Structure 1
Amino acid sequence: MSKKESLVSGIANKFPTYRRSKFITAYSWQIGKIEDDRTEGLWRIHDNLYDFTEFIDRHPGGSFWIKESQGTDITEAFEAHHISLGPEKMLAKYKVREAKEPRIYTLTIKDGGFYKTLKSRVREKLKEIDYKPTKRTDLIHSGLLAATFAFAIASAYFQNITLGILGGIFLCWNTIAAHNYFHRKDNWRMYTFNLSLMNFHSWRISHALSHHIYPNSLLDLELSMFEPFLCWLPSTHFKTNFQRYFSILVGPIVYMLTFLSQIVMRIAYSLKRSNVMHWHDIIGLSIPLTMIICSELSLWEVLQRWMFLNLVASFCFAAIGLNAAHHEPEIYHDGDAYREDRDWGLFQVDTITDRSDLKGSQFLTLTHFGDHALHHLFPTLDHGILPQLYPAFYETLNEFKGHLRELRYVEHIIGQHKQLLRNKPNKIPPGSRI
């Protein structure tokens, strides 16, 4: 057992199996979670096992969510993705038996706790809120999608670098906005995420089922996939002094290669182990195809301009995403002391620092991962309506001694780099600092 494997996560009582893999992907994460959760090929919610096999194709949110989570503990994912009481009432129909072993996860979602209390208030609030902002969300996304293709085509037609940079920026914004849609039931807009060469299918695993449920922990795939180049965990077991400072220098290169590395990893995994490519991977080729059709450039020239556009988009995406909410020395990362109240909702708040300079702008919120804490707590809700939930959110935070940190973008960037350098755990748990 390595020094790393001797560590136990603050939210689970064992070292995640997937982290022993030399080839960490969304799919190796799934395999490891199945081994760790030991649900006998069924689905676990709290202390019961269920068989949803016959419900896979009838699930209103699409078959993906149930099919890809088979054999795992989906307690937190089930709670976060179902605000209404209907799904909970249906569970009895699919119950097989009580689980024989306790959950390996130490977080809780109990009646009367923070998350259940907040969810009940949000459930009532959703009956009276204004849903018009959801239409504006769709319009913004449609505009971003159109602008991405327009600038990509114009950059090839006029052979202009500035237009290529703008195309990259809009591709970045489109990708972030599309993330709003792949958290929800299947829809055509989630496919536009694939224009980046990433794939919403693997991101539903790495982002929605891993990062959203277990942020800033050993189980967070969006931490482990950047190691050893970027490591935010405050432990010398994961980063040497050289890595701490080297990460500051290598960061911009990692940002620029984020998109390309994703498809390279999927191709490599498909060749070495099992196929994880999908028909919708070809969507990423639609941008260079339109550039070829609408210009007189050769195939090689178009590929060069497309790669430039993609690298710009990737850099912007990572610069926004990795400095959006989670990496700052004052918030919880595995290894830090954790609060006595193990409520999953409070854990989400304790691992997030919101962007204060985005509030009030639906465009900036949608394109820069704004209202991040509420999005983590209720990922299936459109970003456009999240601001209306703040009164209930703050009321519940006050009751349970929670505190949502907010910083401006520059402060986030500084904080993220401080976190890369930090190798000493915080000894004072969240909730004790306010």
Structure 2
Amino acid sequence: MVIEKWKECGIATKFPTYRNSPLVTVHSWQKGKRQDDEAEGLWRIHDGIYDFTEFIDKHPGGPFWIRETKGTDITEAFEAHHLTSTPEKMITKYKVRDAAKPRIYTLTLHEDGFYKTLKERVKQQLKTIDKRPKRKSDLIHLGILLSTYLFAVASVKYNSLLALVLAGVALCWTVIVSHNYFHRRDNWQMYTFNLGLMNFCAWRISHAMSHHIYPNSYYDLELSMFEPLLCWVPNPHIKSKALRYVSWITEPLAYAIAFFLQVLTRIYYSLRHTNIMYWHDLLPLTIPLVMYLGSSGSAGLLFCVRQWLAMTSIASFSFCVIGLNAAHHDPEIYHEGDKNREDRDWGLFQVDTIIDRGDLKWSQFLVLTHFGDHVLHHLFPTLDHGLLPALYPVLYETLDQFKGELRECNHIEHMIGQHKQLLRIHSNPRAPGEGK
């Protein structure tokens, strides 16, 4: 009965296989998607089947994106990650046949629809905008990264609680700003994401390929990974009254251990199933090492490790306070089970799953460190955050044309809304754009 109701209002015609896995990981998500996507073991874009095997190592964005998506439908990801017409022309030589079955996803990308229209206007706008803010993003990232190590060393050298807290906040900001980079072609900044015990390769799957493409749906891995501690899907069958209110109590604990759970889950899965660890999973250890060396060994290695773990817990808590209250969870935001708008355009779906942080727009630093300009980032994830403000005129123009709405609120309002969403069990019968 639950699945039947889901089929009527979800973004796909299949209930995702991965959600039936005993342990939900990026690997189980990929495995399930390969079973569900009707990609015939290759790569699917719209209604075509492509064989990119020979192109994996030639991909300008790096081999990871092509290698890890084999066997899946990459239609929306392909459209969102390429802003020029060159890739569309280039892939024609890799097409092997038309797909045997229709796509399982109900979202559309029509040439005259919202997203394609906006994408064309953005492409023209990018030819004229000032590119200097992109350099400013790089400097902000570098400054926060260096601050992380400096405060970490100070916390052990002077046994300073203030320095420890500042180190934790700086680490949190380093991880968030690094997110600006792992959506793009391979670069050195993306590796700094790993300093928070997470891994950019895993997040390229859970965040870029899953959450960014299917936000707030059952195909959004970032919903699954917090369940049952935190459940935002408004479904009374999977969210009991006790669970709803207990989540308010368990929430701070979940925040503080989120980074640790990420790495422990990946280690467990690697030992029990398939290895999903990389050499750069060792990068977080550079922090206690620098702490030890920076204190000339006087602090003691065990003390440095203890301070590092405390610092990471502070960063984890701060990351969740910012990230989980940044854009996606409020009773007014679309979640799986709510009524869909009649226009199934993928870009409008993105807009419907987000309320932006309107209190950040005046500062590029705050936008980078607090997931700001979230709608534009979801629509064009490969663009530097510094370039996004220049795109608002064409976004507003296109939203007006297609009856969309860019909603905004401040962080406190988001936090209140996120807690209300944890309690919500009934689907919204009013589709986005229908009015009150």
TM-score (ref. length: structure 1)? 0.98
**Offset of 1:91 from its aligned partner?**
1.7
Equivalent residue for 1:366, pick from 359, 365, 368: 368
Structure 1 residue 279 and structure 2 residue 279: aligned?
A: yes
Q: Confirm or deny: 8 A CA contact 1:60 1:185 kept in the other structure.
A: yes
Output the CA distance in 1 between the equivalents of 2:178 and 2:237. 36
Aligned to 1:327: 329
Whether contact under 8 Å (2:26, 2:205) holds in the other structure is yes
Aligned to 2:379: 377
**Partners in 2 of 1:394 and 1:6 — Cα distance?**
34
Quote how far apart the aligned CAs of 1:191 are.
Answer: 0.2
396, 399, 406: which is aligned to 2:398? Answer: 396
User: Quick one: distance in 1 between partners of 2:163 and 2:363?
Assistant: 25
4+ aligned runs moved over 2 Å, structure 1: 2-9
| Aligned-pair identity (%) | 61
What SS is found at the alignment partner of 1:206? helix
1:427 to 422, 426, 429: 429
Tell me the alpha carbon deviations over residues 37-64 of structure 1, each in whole angstroms, 9 at most, x when there is no partner.
1312110000000000101000000001
Q: Which residue of 2 aligns with 1:346?
A: 348
Structure 1 position 300, deviation (Å): 1.6
**Length-normalised TM-score, structure 2:** 0.98
- Identify the residue that residue 146 of structure 1 maps to in structure 2: 146
Conservation of the 8 A alpha-carbon contact between 2:223 and 2:231: yes
Q: Deviation at 1:162? A: 1.1
Q: After superposition, what is the alpha-carbon deviation per residue over 1:67-103, rounded to whole angstroms, capped at 9, x for unaligned? A: 0000000000000000101001112110000000000
Q: Aligned AA for 1:173?
A: W
Query: What residue in structure 1 maps to residue 317 of structure 2?
Result: 315
Instruction: Answer yes or no: is 1:66 the counterpart of 2:63.
Output: no
| AA aligned opposite 1:109 | L
Shift of 1:6: 6.8
Which residue of 2 is the match for residue 408 of structure 1?
410
Q: Deviations over 1:5-62 (max 9, x none)?
A: 8733610011100000010001110000000013121100000000001010000000
User: SS in structure 2 opposite 1:291?
Assistant: helix
Q: Give the structure 2 partner of residue 213 of structure 1.
A: 213
Contiguous gaps of at least 5 residues in structure 2: none
| Partner SS state of residue 329, structure 1 | coil
User: SS at 1:44's partner residue?
Assistant: strand
Are the aligned partners of 1:6 and 1:15 in contact in 2 as well (CA < 8 Å)?
no
Determine helix, strand or coil for the equivalent of 1:112. Answer: coil
Give the drift of 1:3: 4.4
Give the letter aligned to residue 223 of structure 1: L
Could you give the per-residue CA deviations for residues 258-292 of structure 1, whole angstroms, max 9, x where no partner exists? Answer: 11110000100000101111000111110011111
Distance 1:400 1:175 in 2: 35
Aligned: 1:304 with 2:306 = yes
Measure, in 2, the Cα distance between the counterparts of 1:41 and 1:286: 40
1:335 maps to amino acid: G
Question: Does structure 1 retain, via aligned residues, the 8 Å contact 2:38–2:104?
Answer: no
Deviations 1:211-245 (A, max 9, x none): 00000000000000000110001111221000100
**Which residue in 2 is equivalent to 1:7?**
6
How far, CA to CA, are the matches of 2:351 and 2:124 in structure 1?
A: 21
- C-alpha distance in structure 2 between counterparts of 1:140 and 1:4, whole Å: 46
Among 412, 416, 420, which residue is 1:418 paired with? Answer: 420
Which structure 1 residue ranges, 5 or more long, are not aligned? none
User: Which residue in the other structure is 2:85 paired with?
Assistant: 85
Q: Contact between 2:255 and 2:320, CA under 8 Å: does it hold in 1? A: yes
| Other-structure match for 1:52 | 52
1:116: Cα distance to partner?
0.2
1:236 alignment partner AA:
P
Question: Aligned partners of 2:30, 2:38: CA distance in 1, in Å?
Answer: 12
CA distance in 2, matches of 1:3, 1:183: 34
Contact preservation (8 Å) 1:5, 1:15: no
Are the equivalent residues in 1 in contact too, given 2:151–2:167 (CA < 8 A)?
Answer: yes
Q: 1:308-340 CA distances to partner (integer Å, 9 max, x unpaired)?
A: 100000000000000000001101001100100
Question: What's the CA shift for 1:433?
Answer: 1.6
Tell me whether 1:259 sits opposite 2:282 in the alignment.
no
Q: Is the 8 A contact 2:44 2:73 kept in 1?
A: yes
SS of 1:28's equivalent in the other structure is: helix
- Specify the alignment match of 1:245 in structure 2: 245
Code of the aligned partner of 1:423: I
